[in-house]
A and B are shown apart, each in its own frame.
Chain A
Amino acid sequence: MTAQANRIEADRQPGSTGTAIDRSRPLKFRLDGRIICGFVGDSVLSAAMASGIDMVGEHGGQALGLGHRFAPALTFGKAPLAQALPMARIPAIDGADLHSCGGRHFQLPPLGRARRSLRQDLDRHALGSPWYDQAAQSQVACDVVVIGGGVAGMSAALAAANTGASVTLVETAPMLGGNARYFGSQEGDEPPDQTITRLTAEVTANAAITLLLQAEALSVRAGRVRAHQIVVDGSQLRGTIIDVIAPRIILATGAMERLPVFPGNRLPRVITSLEAYVLAERYGVWLGQSTILATVHSAAYRLAMMASDAGIATRKIADSRFNPQSRFIEYSRAYGIMQATGTIPARAEPAARGLGLSVTLQLAIDGYSHVEPPVPTDLLVLCGGWQPDLTLWHMADGRSRWNDVRHRLEPIESASQIAVAGSAAGWFSKHACLLSGQDAVNQLFGAQRIPVTELAIDPAFETPDAATPSVPRGQVVSQASYLDGGLNLIQPPDPAPETGPRWWPLRKRTPAWSLTAQPQALAIADVAAGVQLGAIPVPSAGIVAQERAVASGALLDAAQPESFLPQHPPMPALLVPNYLVGRFGSEPQLWVVTPTEPRILEIGALLFLNSDQSDSRQAIGAIVSSGQAKTIALIGKPSPSQGESLTLRDTGRSVPIKLIAPFDGPWSDPALSGEAGPA
């Protein structure tokens, strides 16, 4: 596992050989005892994937692939779990000794499939994010905080700084720019590379903007953003939680790529197109030598051409759109890439031999369906369309609604001090994202709004995205399918039909399935998939997303136990509480009573005229206060007299008691202070 089998050769065309890595500076580190080779500039994740590790572990007996959104937390050496860091954001460091957190299957030495796996026991231990549970260690104050360092976020930060405001820009990646490069340039518009270079230079030169790179925003509440940043501390890396206090917040969190729902959609070597692009463009990593792409979006054709430039064979592009048009499609034909339109991925299975896959495609047009023979490939790249990342928007009480044309949740603008910009706001083109960043600032400062328009190509020449494909229910298959590619492992309802007649006790029943029963936060893409699968009605999609698409840390902060003390005002118990009013007649009296045998009389014990009675509706009184000094009963019997005997029933036993004297104290419990009277 020491060779970098998945690293694209350095002599290939620029654009897929890794802009972030320095191939002249190799490094080595240990991951769970295995030596991993990489280069300076690699993340631990990219180096591991370059070295052939592509599997996290098994879930329900099935292998799950490693990826940017599904990777375990790691610790350095024997550091405690609380100091764990996210694998995708840790830069590779020469000589580091890293250990994955969670429950691992023990196997020494790793054999067969386990050699490519981090061997996480996903059935017993879900992948965690311990940094979500930590309290803030420092605080930063500013006028505006912008979350997301893509083109919309940078545009917003600059616009805010131009108003004279102090700005903090929070970006998860180690560099600014976001994902605009993936979508390519548009005629008449500045190429994304140039835009990113220009904006990055302006942002870094602007003294009013403070950059927090390698910082993931964890939560947003009114006036506060909590972020987790990886910082270099001497020769060590550590995570720190920062609270950014700002009255105005702009969310430019981009969009998430949807995962088509079909059996085997999370096997190792099944990845999304954006992840494949980032791995190739930044780190020069491509898994295997052959690829099948399944897409609903034209930019995936750019990726296919990029792969061809890197010497990767693209066996086929399956496009769920019928006869799609795009400039990228025209270019890809010049590369000789085979295209299958109206085709969706039906299932993926591990290849009988080797590390690759066997992918089955399905022609699905207007009710016509034809399943094609399986095709072997090293990698299956999926693009299921784009869902604005509204996780933080929903956490901040932002609302959203389902757009039935674009098949996704989109934010509804509110009057609060939080605005959403760029792809997160639902915009597609770089042009619109730049404008929406500026407009978000105007919105928050009450200035005149900027009309935001898409720089759109006529649909006749650029076919819009299709809905995320999902394989029709009802097929019995060996591989599991998942709604999304993140930490949640939520599967759609079991398609297996019930068997046998209803009266047959051993008949197989379809297990009940509901999102409510899933005890985990949902990713917004889970909700979008739920809508498309019919599990969530369209009108409720926004509400479900707001309720469930949350990311949060520990609910209870063990460091502050005093905050859990009940916050009740010190109210005394009344001797005649409201629920006893009218129960024992209209004019009950309080009497001091005593048992005729040594016994503690409990509050609530009922009094009867004789020991034959036991129905509580026949009770003529009850004990309302019981202390060391005296026991007081509320008695509804007409004309009670001193020394009179009654029967007390408690837990089924009868105890004779005697009335001692009328109680003439206050009508609150004598053990407590306070004024009270009969209700």
Chain B
Amino acid sequence: MNDSAVDFAIFGSTPLARLLASLLASAHGKKVVWLGDSHAAFRLPRSLDLSIGPMTRPKSWALLSQCVPETVKLIARAGGKAGMTRLDPIFFANTPMSRQALAFVRSSATSFGQTIERVPLNHQSEARDGILLRDAIVLHRDLMESILDRWLDALDIMRLSPTHAQISIAPDGGATIAVADVIVRATCTVLADDEAILAHLPPQTMAGLFTRQQMTTILTEPTFPMAGRVMLQLDAALSLLQGKHRGVTAIAAGDHDVCVSHIGALLGAKRQLRQAGGTSHERLNTPDGAAIVGRMSGTGPQLLAGLGPTGAFLAPALARWLAGAAKPNEAAYFAARNPDRSMASSHVSEFVPLAPVRTIT
């Protein structure tokens, strides 16, 4: 039996989890084990990794504008240039509530140097507002995953599949992971994506902190170019990404039929779209729409949730914070988003789309 001790056990299959593991090891000298799956090359995506998001609070934009260049350099250094594309996403809003929110997204982003243009009238209607945000970066998970996995290997970070591991997370946040004849003891556990939280956090701990939302991903056959290669519709939590072969990946709240109706509402019924794949999954939402970063009542694992599409790009700040080396603004930002905050009178809340959710009991 091979017994080893590490500082951090990072659970999660997203680029954020991989980046955190690599940063904690390379930039902060921590011993790390990473537990996740590598399936982006053959399974449909559950979320999007974008360097901008529909955030209404200036502090969120401030942190993001500080982290994005750092993350991009980091990924490039890891050989991941091929897994990133620069593009100009478009955010749309239909209802009065979301149009109002979009206005605050625009004003907050603009003050941090984000170039924003109104979407030309031919792409919107009286019942819809749209803004185009220049020069954002999208990560292609199917390519990025293998690049980051190679980087984790180069950093001698142990990569384990949670499906084949016996995992026990202690109240103090430590974890014992047994795989075959290897036992790894971690001082700190980080649950870095929804899948990891759903798998390892007891439902009674999740209740009150999260609601479950049914999400649907649909992949289409190639279609005509969209107005923007990435489009977000705030009301429906709908994200559309058109790949280089012109197939569209749509991720939206609701079941298959609801997702189709949102795609139709945004792209128009005349567009020829044929399905090339589809799946449904669950996403964890927070009651106030803001991120959750930290431990519940100071116990258990560190939770990273509700970071939206920009999560991966916050990895440098999150890694510093986990390693106890956060800058003052980062520490203040994450402290304000701790899981123990009052959700009813939250001072960090973000726009919450009106979509059906399921309470965790």
Chain A residues with a Cβ under 8 A of chain B:
126, 132-133, 512, 514-522, 530, 535-537, 539-540, 543-544, 546-548, 550, 552-558, 560-561, 563-569, 571-574, 577-583, 602-606, 614-617, 619, 622, 624, 649-652, 669, 671-672, 679
Taking a contact as CB atoms under 8 Å apart, the answer to whether A672 and B107 are in contact is no
Taking a contact as CB atoms under 8 Å apart, the answer to whether A520 and B104 are in contact is no
- Give the CA-CA distance A543 to B44 in the complex, in Å: 10
Chain B: CB-nearest residue to A559: B269
Q: Could you write out 28 A-B pairs with CB less than 8 Å apart?
A: A126-B221, A514-B40, A515-B41, A516-B41, A519-B219, A519-B221, A519-B248, A536-B42, A547-B43, A547-B44, A547-B277, A547-B278, A555-B274, A556-B260, A556-B271, A561-B264, A566-B262, A568-B235, A573-B97, A579-B56, A579-B289, A579-B349, A581-B347, A582-B347, A583-B57, A603-B99, A624-B100, A679-B345
Chain A contacts of B263 at CB under 8 A?
555-556
CB-contact partner of B277 in A548, A565, A604, A679, under 8 A: A548
Chain B contacts of A548 at CB under 8 A?
44, 219, 276-277
Q: Mark B263-282, 1 if CB is under 8 A from A, else 0.
A: 11101111111111111000
CB-contact partner of A520 in B112, B221, B288, under 8 A: B221
- Give the CA-CA distance A540 to B278 in the complex, in Å: 15
A-B contact count (CB 8 A): 209
CB-contact partner of B95 in A530, A571, A652, under 8 A: A571
Q: Mark B138-153, 1 if CB is under 8 A from A, else 0.
A: 0001110000000000
Beyond A564-B264, A603-B103, A622-B104, whether A521 also contacts B275 by CB under 8 A is yes
- CB of B218 closer than 8 Å to a CB of A: yes
Taking a contact as CB atoms under 8 Å apart, the answer to whether B101 and A579 are in contact is yes
CB-contact partner of A519 in B40, B58, B264, B276, under 8 A: B276
Which 3 A/B pairs are nearest by Cβ-Cβ distance? A519-B247, A582-B347, A604-B103
Beyond A543-B43, A578-B349, whether A672 also contacts B96 by CB under 8 A is yes
Taking a contact as CB atoms under 8 Å apart, the answer to whether A561 and B57 are in contact is no
Q: Mark B232-271, 1 if CB is under 8 A from A, else 0.
A: 0001100000011111100000000010111111011111
Chain B contacts of A568 at CB under 8 A?
94-95, 235, 354
- Give the CA-CA distance A518 to B39 in the complex, in Å: 15
- Give the CA-CA distance A206 to B148 in the complex, in Å: 63
- Give the CA-CA distance A530 to B41 in the complex, in Å: 11
Taking a contact as CB atoms under 8 Å apart, the answer to whether B96 and A567 are in contact is no
Shortest CB distance B203–A (Å):
24
Taking a contact as CB atoms under 8 Å apart, the answer to whether A553 and B274 are in contact is yes
Shortest CB distance A129–B (Å):
9
Taking a contact as CB atoms under 8 Å apart, the answer to whether B42 and A515 are in contact is yes
- Give the CA-CA distance A522 to B112 in the complex, in Å: 44
CB-contact partner of A616 in B58, B143, B288, under 8 A: B58
Additional 5 contacts, C-beta under 8 A, given A512-B142, A547-B278: A522-B277, A547-B277, A548-B44, A555-B220, A555-B263
Of the listed residues A539, A579, A604, A650, the one surrounded by the most CB atoms of chain B closer than 10 A to its CB is: A579
- CB of B309 closer than 8 Å to a CB of A: no
- CB of B45 closer than 8 Å to a CB of A: yes
Chain B contacts of A617 at CB under 8 A?
58-59, 62
Taking a contact as CB atoms under 8 Å apart, the answer to whether B247 and A606 are in contact is no
Chain B: CB-nearest residue to A512: B143
- CB of B110 closer than 8 Å to a CB of A: yes
- Give the CA-CA distance A317 to B107 in the complex, in Å: 73
Taking a contact as CB atoms under 8 Å apart, the answer to whether B351 and A540 are in contact is no
Chain A: CB-nearest residue to B218: A555
Q: Which of B29-77 contact A (CB under 8 A)?
A: 39-45, 56-59, 61-62
Shortest CB distance B149–A (Å):
13
Chain B contacts of A604 at CB under 8 A?
100, 102-107
Taking a contact as CB atoms under 8 Å apart, the answer to whether A581 and B95 are in contact is no
CB-contact partner of A514 in B57, B59, B142, under 8 A: B142
Beyond A519-B219, A564-B261, A568-B95, whether A602 also contacts B103 by CB under 8 A is yes
Chain A contacts of B236 at CB under 8 A?
566
CB-contact partner of B346 in A547, A581, A619, A622, under 8 A: A581
Chain A: CB-nearest residue to B145: A514
CB-contact partner of B100 in A535, A543, A577, under 8 A: A577
- CB of B310 closer than 8 Å to a CB of A: no
Chain A contacts of B111 at CB under 8 A?
606, 614-616, 649
Of the listed residues B143, B219, B263, the one surrounded by the most CB atoms of chain A closer than 10 A to its CB is: B219
Chain A: CB-nearest residue to B354: A568
Chain A: CB-nearest residue to B61: A616
- Give the CA-CA distance A606 to B110 in the complex, in Å: 11
CB-contact partner of A540 in B42, B45, B258, B270, under 8 A: B42
Taking a contact as CB atoms under 8 Å apart, the answer to whether B269 and A564 are in contact is yes
- Give the CA-CA distance A537 to B111 in the complex, in Å: 46
Q: How many residues of B contact A (CB 8 A)?
A: 79
- Give the CA-CA distance A572 to B99 in the complex, in Å: 11
Shortest CB distance A676–B (Å):
11
- Give the CA-CA distance A430 to B40 in the complex, in Å: 40
- CB of B167 closer than 8 Å to a CB of A: no
Chain B contacts of A561 at CB under 8 A?
264, 269
Shortest CB distance B111–A (Å):
4
- CB of B122 closer than 8 Å to a CB of A: no
- Give the CA-CA distance A520 to B43 in the complex, in Å: 13
Chain B: CB-nearest residue to A221: B256
Taking a contact as CB atoms under 8 Å apart, the answer to whether A566 and B277 are in contact is no
Of the listed residues A126, A574, A581, the one surrounded by the most CB atoms of chain B closer than 10 A to its CB is: A581
Taking a contact as CB atoms under 8 Å apart, the answer to whether B101 and A577 are in contact is yes
Taking a contact as CB atoms under 8 Å apart, the answer to whether A579 and B42 are in contact is no
- Give the CA-CA distance A398 to B94 in the complex, in Å: 36
- CB of B222 closer than 8 Å to a CB of A: yes
Shortest CB distance B169–A (Å):
23
Chain A: CB-nearest residue to B352: A578
- CB of B211 closer than 8 Å to a CB of A: no
- CB of B348 closer than 8 Å to a CB of A: yes
Beyond A565-B265, A617-B58, whether A550 also contacts B275 by CB under 8 A is yes
Taking a contact as CB atoms under 8 Å apart, the answer to whether A535 and B95 are in contact is no
Shortest CB distance B329–A (Å):
10
Taking a contact as CB atoms under 8 Å apart, the answer to whether B269 and A535 are in contact is no
- CB of B108 closer than 8 Å to a CB of A: yes
Beyond A514-B143, A622-B104, whether A544 also contacts B42 by CB under 8 A is yes
- CB of B199 closer than 8 Å to a CB of A: no
- Give the CA-CA distance A312 to B162 in the complex, in Å: 57
Chain B contacts of A563 at CB under 8 A?
261, 264
Q: Mark B341-358, 1 if CB is under 8 A from A, else 0.
A: 000011111111010000
Taking a contact as CB atoms under 8 Å apart, the answer to whether B273 and A581 are in contact is no
Taking a contact as CB atoms under 8 Å apart, the answer to whether B276 and A520 are in contact is yes
Chain B contacts of A520 at CB under 8 A?
221, 247, 276
Taking a contact as CB atoms under 8 Å apart, the answer to whether B43 and A579 are in contact is no
Shortest CB distance B206–A (Å):
21
Taking a contact as CB atoms under 8 Å apart, the answer to whether A573 and B96 are in contact is yes
Taking a contact as CB atoms under 8 Å apart, the answer to whether A578 and B288 are in contact is yes
Chain B contacts of A518 at CB under 8 A?
245, 247, 276
- CB of B4 closer than 8 Å to a CB of A: no
CB-contact partner of B269 in A543, A553, A557, under 8 A: A557
Beyond A521-B276, A540-B39, A617-B58, whether A558 also contacts B269 by CB under 8 A is yes
- CB of B82 closer than 8 Å to a CB of A: yes
- CB of B163 closer than 8 Å to a CB of A: yes
- Give the CA-CA distance A546 to B279 in the complex, in Å: 8
Chain B: CB-nearest residue to A511: B82
Chain B contacts of A572 at CB under 8 A?
96-97
- Give the CA-CA distance A622 to B100 in the complex, in Å: 12
- Give the CA-CA distance A61 to B271 in the complex, in Å: 30
Taking a contact as CB atoms under 8 Å apart, the answer to whether A512 and B245 are in contact is no
- Give the CA-CA distance A569 to B42 in the complex, in Å: 37
Chain A: CB-nearest residue to B247: A519
Chain B contacts of A557 at CB under 8 A?
269
Taking a contact as CB atoms under 8 Å apart, the answer to whether A517 and B245 are in contact is yes
Chain B: CB-nearest residue to A521: B276
Of the listed residues B258, B261, B269, B277, the one surrounded by the most CB atoms of chain A closer than 10 A to its CB is: B277
Chain A: CB-nearest residue to B97: A573
Beyond A520-B247, A565-B265, whether A571 also contacts B97 by CB under 8 A is yes
